[in-house]
């Protein structure tokens, strides 16, 4: 057997192995999401979101630590606090979709001590009845009511704080029902996060944390693994596309997705669309701006391959918040207000404490397309 033949045989075997594992992962995710959706439906905790009046801001993956070298949130605290102050005054409901605290690396006591002011800003939403929390794989301690009572009640106060596995919203335009928003962290079905979370937690807390303090390298998978992120996005989209009039909003991957496309893919599509149009100076200026913005996004993610995988746009049923712990201190989130759903970044392009709209569209149109 020649070297070329052996190489091709090895490549085929690797591709087959990858496809088998991807199919297995997708099947696990589908089962886990089916179960989570059934629990959300049967619990009776379905909320109503009226697009004419509702205002929501959805953040995830803060990974608040203990203000040490292993703390991924430290650089983003300023942008996050500014966003909380803005949305509190604007009347938004704050939804945090898991991995809010980094409890694989730190104890709840250490995190609360380090970020007391940040938590108190969130608590102001809770006091006004405009706060909802979901637990993720890195803060799955909050799935237990006694842990929430022990550690979070003192700082949040007010009515009892419930941390959910998922949130289900019926979207209405006054009396007209438009569809469903289903929100969860997005780790469901991931073997490392579900079945092996106990091992992952021990490894990160007692081995990786010390290494990270020295190197400042993050281990928030799938944020640092392109292959895992791709598989996660494929599985989340694949489940959502099978539902009727349902939009899935998740976190976990640390990469924004809007209408089933990543932000980088949205920019690429806009660039190509303008290139096909006339070559006016205005179009050239806009193309230049979009090219610069795309490189900004790519540089923010050192793990992104030269050509990013694009989730199919056949159905705009999957959105992802991105995260609140980017290396440059930026944060991204999903905003719903005035009938629009938006992908926003803090700070703005001038590095001022204002929201910058990266993408937006009518929520009614999104649900109609689903």
DSSP-derived 3-state class of residue 176: strand
pLDDT value of position 212: 46
pLDDT in 10s for each residue of the chain, 370 residues: 555 555 445 545 444 554 666 678 889 999 999 999 999 999 888 999 999 999 999 999 999 999 998 899 999 999 999 999 999 999 999 999 999 999 998 999 999 999 999 999 999 999 999 999 999 999 999 999 999 999 999 999 989 999 999 999 999 998 999 999 999 999 998 765 555 454 555 455 445 445 444 445 555 555 555 567 778 898 999 999 999 999 999 999 999 999 888 777 777 877 887 887 766 766 788 888 888 878 877 776 655 554 544 555 579 999 999 999 998 999 999 999 999 999 999 999 899 999 999 999 999 999 999 9
Residues linked to residue 64 through DSSP beta bridges, in sequence order? 101
What is the edge-to-edge ordering of all strands in the sheet holding 356-362? 163-164, 131-134, 93-97, 55-59, 331-337, 340-346, 356-362
Cα 198 to its chain centre, rounded Å, is 22
- Provide the token pair at 214: 């020295």
- Provide the token pair at 304: 């992104």
Query: In 3D, which of 213, 178, 278 has the Cα closest to residue 74?
Result: 213
| CB-based contacts of 22, cutoff 8 Å, min separation 6 | 231, 234
Q: Which residues of 267-302 are buried (b: 16+ CB within 10 A; e: fewer)?
A: bbebbeebeeeeeeeeeeeebeebeebbeebeebbe
pLDDT value of position 281: 67
Q: Is the bond leading into 77 cis (omega within 30 degrees of zero)?
A: no
Q: Helix %, strand %, coil % for the chain, to 5?
A: 45, 20, 35
Predicted TM-score of the model (pTM): 0.82
Rounded to whole angstroms, the Cα distance separating 76 from 62 reads 8
| CB-based contacts of 2, cutoff 8 Å, min separation 6 | none
DSSP-derived 3-state class of residue 343: strand
- Provide the token pair at 245: 């009039």
CATH number assigned to the domain with residue range 3-259+315-369, chosen from the 4 options 3.40.1130, 1.10.10, 3.40.50, 3.60.21: 3.60.21
Handedness of CA 191, 196, 201, 203 (dihedral sign): negative
pLDDT value of position 22: 65
Q: Which helix (H) or strand (E) holds 226?
A: helix 226-241
Rounded to whole angstroms, the Cα distance separating 256 from 341 reads 13
| CB-based contacts of 34, cutoff 8 Å, min separation 6 | 239
pLDDT value of position 14: 45
Domain ranges of the chain: 3-259+315-369, 261-310
Rounded to whole angstroms, the Cα distance separating 314 from 369 reads 9
Between helices 226-241 and 3-42, what is the axis angle to 10°?
50
Secondary structure string (H, E, C) spanning 90-134: HCCEEEEECCCECCCCCCHHHHHHHCHHHHHHHHHHHHCCCEEEE
pLDDT value of position 208: 45
- Provide the token pair at 74: 């430290």
pLDDT value of position 100: 97
């Amino acid at each position: 057997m020649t070297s070329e033949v052996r190489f091709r045989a090895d490549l085929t075997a690797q591709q087959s192995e990858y496809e088998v594992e991807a199919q297995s992962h997708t099947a696990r995710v589908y089962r886990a999401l089916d179960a989570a959706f059934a629990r959300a439906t049967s619990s009776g905790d379905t909320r109503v979101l009226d697009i004419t009046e509702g205002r929501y801001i959805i953040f995830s993956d803060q990974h608040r630590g203990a203000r040490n070298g292993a703390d991924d949130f430290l650089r983003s605290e300023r942008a996050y606090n500014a966003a909380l102050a803005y949305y509190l005054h604007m009347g938004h409901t704050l939804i945090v979709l898991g991995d809010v605290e980094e409890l694989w690396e730190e104890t709840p006591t250490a995190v609360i001590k380090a970020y007391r002011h940040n938590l108190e800003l969130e608590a102001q939403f809770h006091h006004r009845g405009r706060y909802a929390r979901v637990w993720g794989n890195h803060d799955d301690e909050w799935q237990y009511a006694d842990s929430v009572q022990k550690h979070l009640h003192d700082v949040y106060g007010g009515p009892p704080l419930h941390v959910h596995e998922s949130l289900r919203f019926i979207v209405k335009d006054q009396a007209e029902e438009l569809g469903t928003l289903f929100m969860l962290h997005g780790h469901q079905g991931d073997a490392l996060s579900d079945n092996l979370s106990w091992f992952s937690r021990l490894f990160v807390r007692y081995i990786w944390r010390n290494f990270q303090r020295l190197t400042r390298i993050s281990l928030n998978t799938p944020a640092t693994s392109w292959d895992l992120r791709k598989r996660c996005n494929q599985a989340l989209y694949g489940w959502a596309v099978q539902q009727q009039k349902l939009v899935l909003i998740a976190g976990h991957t640390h990469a924004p997705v809007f209408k089933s496309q990543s932000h980088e893919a949205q920019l690429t599509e806009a660039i190509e669309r303008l290139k096909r149009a006339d070559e006016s100076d205005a179009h050239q200026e806009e193309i230049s701006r979009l090219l610069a913005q795309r490189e900004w996004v790519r540089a923010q993610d050192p793990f992104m391959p030269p050509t990013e995988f694009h989730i199919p746009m056949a159905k705009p049923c999957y959105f992802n918040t991105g995260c609140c712990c980017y290396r440059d201190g930026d944060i991204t989130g999903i905003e719903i207000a005035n009938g629009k759903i938006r992908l926003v970044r803090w700070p703005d392009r001038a590095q001022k404490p204002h929201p910058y709209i990266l993408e937006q569209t009518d929520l009614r149109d999104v649900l109609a397309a689903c």
